[in-house]
Amino acid sequence: MIEKLTALEEKYEELTGLVSDPAIMADQPTWQKYIKARSDLEEMVMTFREYKQCLQGIEDAKQIIRDKEDPEMAELAALELDELKEKSQAFQDQLHLLLLPKDPNDQKNVILEIRAGTGGDEAGLFASDLFKMYSRYAERQGWHMEIMDASYTDLGGLKEIIVLMEGRGVFSRMKYESGVHRVQRVPSTESSGRIHTSAATVAVLPEAEEVDVEINPNDIRIDVFCATGPGGQCVNTTQSAVRLTHIPTGIVVSCQDEKSQHKNKDKGMRVLRARIMEKRQQELASSEASTRKSMVGSGDRSERIRTYNFPQGRVTDHRVGLTLHRLEWILQGDLDEIIDALITDDQAQRLKNVE
């Protein structure tokens, strides 16, 4: 580990020199590339330097104890040695985590898709609750949300909604939300007061840039039609809605949220690229099934991941066995405790695989 960290520190120093070079600064694309590379190494290098200082402190304390010239100083050094050993272990643990391969998608924006599952009208209302929960969580994180497309039930619930979430590290935290979310409650449509179980599916896709997914325009069939649902006469009587079909994969994306056909096409292309990239990643992951199954963040949208039980006011995440009796707060977007637990478990599993 020390050899690898030393090499990374040398690379960091090299990049520090490059970003200060006037010739490099004049070439903005290259300068930006070096700035990002240096930034990616910074936390690891700073932690490594603190770790080395800690190791040096341990050696100094041991030397004082060995010398036995000053009993009082030796006693203080022994106390300091215990503290430094604890700090050293903490730095080691942190460095092991920092050395784990990073998910290349972690800093990407997210295409969030929520769909009503089993449960009829109640499933649509629950899908709407999930959308509100993620909207509030995004607000807490300082992220921006933009609706790409949505369709509603007669009771005001959601059949489906597709949202773009933009911000720093969105995918790194939202990627654990993919899967089936289950709700247990008495529906507003139920007169007898019986508890029903309904579900909604959530898919979290990293937004793919054009360089990530190259699409041949000849592979796309574009259909236009009049939008439906809320929006008024202008939206509902002009052919502003767009349906994109990627012929090689059969993936279909519709977008009708904007009044402009051009804007709907642009939004649809962003969703289409994300879905094509997800399909490719799933095909790749299928060949690594054993590893994928060991990960908390497998992203399998068919897996039941969480239950929201209203009578008991609890939320249970089945992947890590975490139960919190804070349903109301969680639905208000207080998701950090759940997501942090999932990240910690994911890191522990990856460390185990490395070892």
What is the spatial distance between Cα 168 and Cα 80, in angstroms, rounded to a whole number? Answer: 39
Residue 124's alpha-carbon distances to 34, 95, 131, 151, 297, in angstroms, are 47, 45, 11, 10, 25
pLDDT tens digits, one per residue of 60-110: 999 988 887 788 888 888 899 999 999 999 998 888 888 877 878 888 899
What is the spatial distance between Cα 64 and Cα 68, in angstroms, rounded to a whole number? Answer: 7
pLDDT tens digits, one per residue of 200-249: 999 999 888 766 677 888 888 988 877 665 544 444 456 778 888 888 88
pTM comes to: 0.70
Domain residue ranges of the chain, discontinuous segments joined by +: 2-98, 110-211+294-354, 217-285
For the chain, the average pLDDT equals 85
pLDDT confidence of residue 73: 87
Other CB atoms within 10 A of residue 227 CB: 25
Helix (H) or strand (E) holding 105: none
Q: DSSP secondary structure string, 112-177?
A: EEEEE-SSTHHHHHHHHHHHHHHHHHHHHHT-EEEEEEEEE-TTS-EEEEEEEEESTTHHHHHGGG
pLDDT confidence of residue 210: 65
- Locus of tokens 């059969």: 250
Domain formed by 2-98, architecture: Up-down Bundle (1.20)
Average pLDDT rounded to a whole number, residues 48-59: 93
The CATH number given to 110-211+294-354 is 3.30.70.1660
Average pLDDT rounded to a whole number, residues 168-193: 88
- Which amino acid is located at 195 in the chain? I
pLDDT tens digits, one per residue of 322-343: 999 999 999 999 999 999 999 9
Report the topology of domain 217-285: Double Stranded RNA Binding Domain (3.30.160)
Helix then strand then coil, in percent of the chain rounded to 5, is 50, 20, 30
